[in-house]
């Protein structure tokens, strides 16, 4: 048994049994060890941003970390954008990053880099393992850190000689990581939140993290129904349980003017797993803080704490019975379009109307999908995963990982065309693994959100040079050709009738399929 075997054994002993990988020379001993460890599923990504984004999607749905396998500092650097998204989502993840053998670093070979320096900004924990004998303990600590509530990014740097060195005969069994229970909130915090709700003033209960799922979401629904407080989520969330049988939660809008308007009447803001709301960006003459200056803010519990326990305790403090009714999803009032030119609104309505039970929606629709949550609040029960850190290019990898975690559930991706190009290699992985992913490309052939941002900074009529930075034309993207080149069948549609037919076909078939929706 060598160090690479010890690493695999330790990950498996700690229930980390999926590895998303893009390996190189320094990782070959780990790759060889995979042949000796059939319980470890290894999924190849053709770009490191696919690898890290897929590990994020997997962990969001599996509720446990996946491992990634990356090649030195440059390989890790290629995956940093989606590691940023995962860090902002507080997704549990264990990154294994190979490096030169310890004695080789001194010669400054071409791929020598400061791996710790690359890893640290997008990791909660970084460690370099120097010997084969230390690998098991270090890997177990990485898993423990990753699993600590609400989730963390742990990066373990593995020099090649630590991987290939044999352990002494009779080496001990893999180290098992400790599992720490999430800390509870305090009685003082619960009383302060209850006092805010009892005040009679306009009160908002803002949810984030695990408060948007399971027992926590049910308790929030009981509180809202009984007291009349408004439920709002953060703009960007790791995972929300939605649909007609779940508690409906409004989402704080991305556009700053709409977000300010949403909170303008709030006089008390109770935070459960959410941070105080701030603008995504700064704009001339607009506030950074979105709640009114005179709005009193109370922290019921942070993401690190047991949010289900905190919200159930708050319900008890308010005298709300455990079997009290929850806030109900509204009855749909929209009309389902039947014919005509395809629009973003039509795509959103048709997807919301036809979502199958327990679908997983991976949303990187950016501008054209902002109406989707309005229409899907009463859809069949589903999970909604979204872009969390603002670094575009997560949608296709996120869906890939979610499909690996939940092979019996349909994964539907709402994908903007511009951001889809960042990591379209994920389609190849979906084809190779035969993942049940339906991808809908909202093809407006533009970075449409940036047109709005230009106006937000005061430019009403951008000139030719600026427009060429914002449009995806000359040439236009051909998503059917791109998808088929990756092994994924695809169609292009520009009418409501054509999209409805393609959507029905895509939901019925098993395996990856892509619809280019020209809007």
Backbone angles phi, psi at 510, to 5 degrees: -105, 135
Q: Report DSSP letters for 435-448, one per residue.
A: --EEEEEEE-SB-H
The per-residue DSSP string of 212-259 comes to GSHHHHHHHHHHHHHH-PEEEE-SS-S-EEESTTS---EE--SSHHHH
Token pair recorded at residue 36 = 């000796």
Token reading at 47: 């770009």
Summarize pLDDT for 79-118 with one digit per residue, the tens.
999 999 999 999 999 999 999 999 999 999 999 999 999 9
Q: What is the DSSP string of 8-29?
A: HHHHHHTT--EEEE---GGGHH
Is residue 456 over pLDDT 90? no
Query: Which residues, at least 6 apart from 202, have a Cβ–Cβ distance to it below 8 Å?
Result: 230, 265, 266, 267, 268
Contact 493, 342 (CB under 8 A): yes
Q: Which of 388, 503, 358, 353 is nearest to 61 (CA)?
A: 358
Question: Which pTM does this prediction carry?
Answer: 0.95
CA atoms within 13 Å, Cβ hemisphere of 382: 26
- Residue range 438-450: average pLDDT? 82
Place of tokens 């390989």: 75
The pLDDT assigned to 451 comes to 59
d(CA 183, CA 209): 15
For 448, the token pair is 């449409």
The whole-number pLDDT of residue 467 equals 75
- Please state, rounded to an integer, the average pLDDT across all residues of the chain: 95
Q: Please give the residue that has the higher pLDDT: either 207 or 462.
A: 207
Higher pLDDT, 67 or 451: 67
pLDDT tens, position by position, 330-379: 998 889 999 999 999 999 999 999 999 999 999 999 988 889 999 999 99
Rg of the Cα atoms in the chain: 24
What pLDDT is stored for residue 471 in this prediction?
A: 78
What pLDDT digit, counting tens, does each position of 175-207 carry? 999 998 999 999 999 999 999 999 999 999 999
Check whether 450 has a pLDDT greater than 80: no
Residue 457: pLDDT band (50, 70, 90) is low
Compute the average pLDDT of residues 490-496: 98
Token digits for 97? Answer: 């990053």
Q: Dump pLDDT digits (tens) for 33-80.
A: 988 999 999 999 999 999 999 999 999 999 999 999 999 999 999 999
């Amino acid at each position: 048994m060598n160090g690479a075997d010890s690493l695999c054994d330790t990950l498996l002993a700690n229930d980390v049994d999926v590895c998303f990988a893009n390996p190189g020379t320094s990782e070959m001993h780990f790759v060889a060890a995979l042949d000796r460890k059939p319980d470890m599923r290894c999924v190849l990504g053709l770009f490191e941003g696919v690898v890290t984004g897929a590990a994020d999607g997997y962990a969001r749905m599996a509720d446990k970390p996946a491992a990634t396998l990356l090649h030195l500092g440059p390989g890790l650097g290629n995956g940093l954008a989606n590691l940023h998204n995962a860090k902002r989502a507080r997704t549990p993840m264990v990154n294994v990053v190979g490096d030169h053998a310890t004695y080789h670093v001194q010669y400054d070979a071409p791929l020598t880099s400061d791996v710790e320096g690359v890893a640290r900004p997008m990791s909660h924990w970084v460690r370099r393992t120097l010997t084969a004998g230390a690998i098991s303990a270090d890997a177990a600590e990485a898993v423990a850190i990753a699993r600590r509530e609400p989730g963390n990014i742990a990066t373990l740097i593995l020099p090649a000689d630590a991987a290939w060195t044999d352990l002494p005969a009779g080496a001990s069994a893999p180290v098992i990581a400790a599992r720490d229970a999430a800390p509870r909130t305090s009685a003082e915090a619960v009383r302060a939140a209850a006092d805010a709700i009892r005040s009679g003033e306009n009160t908002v209960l803002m949810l984030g993290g695990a408060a948007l799922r399971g027992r926590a979401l049910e308790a929030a629904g009981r509180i809202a129904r009984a007291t009349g407080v408004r439920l709002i989520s953060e703009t960007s969330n790791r995972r929300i349980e939605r649909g007609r049988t779940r508690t409906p939660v409004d989402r704080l809008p991305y556009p700053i003017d709409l977000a300010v308007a949403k909170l303008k009447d709030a006089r008390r803001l109770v935070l459960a797993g959410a941070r105080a709301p701030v603008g995504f960006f700064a704009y001339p003459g607009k506030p950074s803080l979105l709640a009114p200056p005179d709005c009193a803010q109370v922290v019921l519990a942070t993401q690190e704490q047991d949010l289900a326990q905190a919200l159930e305790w708050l319900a008890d403090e308010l005298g709300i019975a455990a079997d009290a009714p929850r806030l109900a999803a509204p009855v749909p009032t929209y009309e389902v379009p039947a014919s005509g030119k395809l629009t973003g609104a039509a795509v959103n309505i048709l997807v919301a109307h036809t979502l199958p039970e327990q679908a997983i929606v991976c949303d990187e629709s950016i501008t054209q999908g902002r109406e989707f949550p309005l229409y899907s609040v009463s859809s069949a029960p589903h999970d909604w995963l979204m872009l969390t850190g603002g670094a575009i290019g997560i949608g296709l990898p996120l869906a890939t990982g979610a499909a690996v975690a939940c092979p019996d559930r349909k994964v539907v991706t709402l994908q903007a065309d511009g951001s889809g190009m960042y990591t379209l290699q994920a389609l190849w992985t979906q084809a190779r693994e035969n993942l049940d992913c339906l991808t809908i490309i909202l093809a407006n052939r533009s970075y449409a959100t940036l047109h709005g941002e230009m106006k937000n900074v005061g430019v009403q009529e951008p000139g030719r040079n600026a427009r060429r930075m914002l449009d995806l034309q000359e040439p236009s993207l051909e998503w059917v050709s791109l998808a088929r080149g990756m092994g994924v069948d695809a169609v292009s549609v520009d009418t409501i009738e054509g999209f409805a037919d393609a959507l029905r076909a895509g939901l019925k078939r098993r395996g990856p399929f892509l619809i280019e929706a020209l809007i």
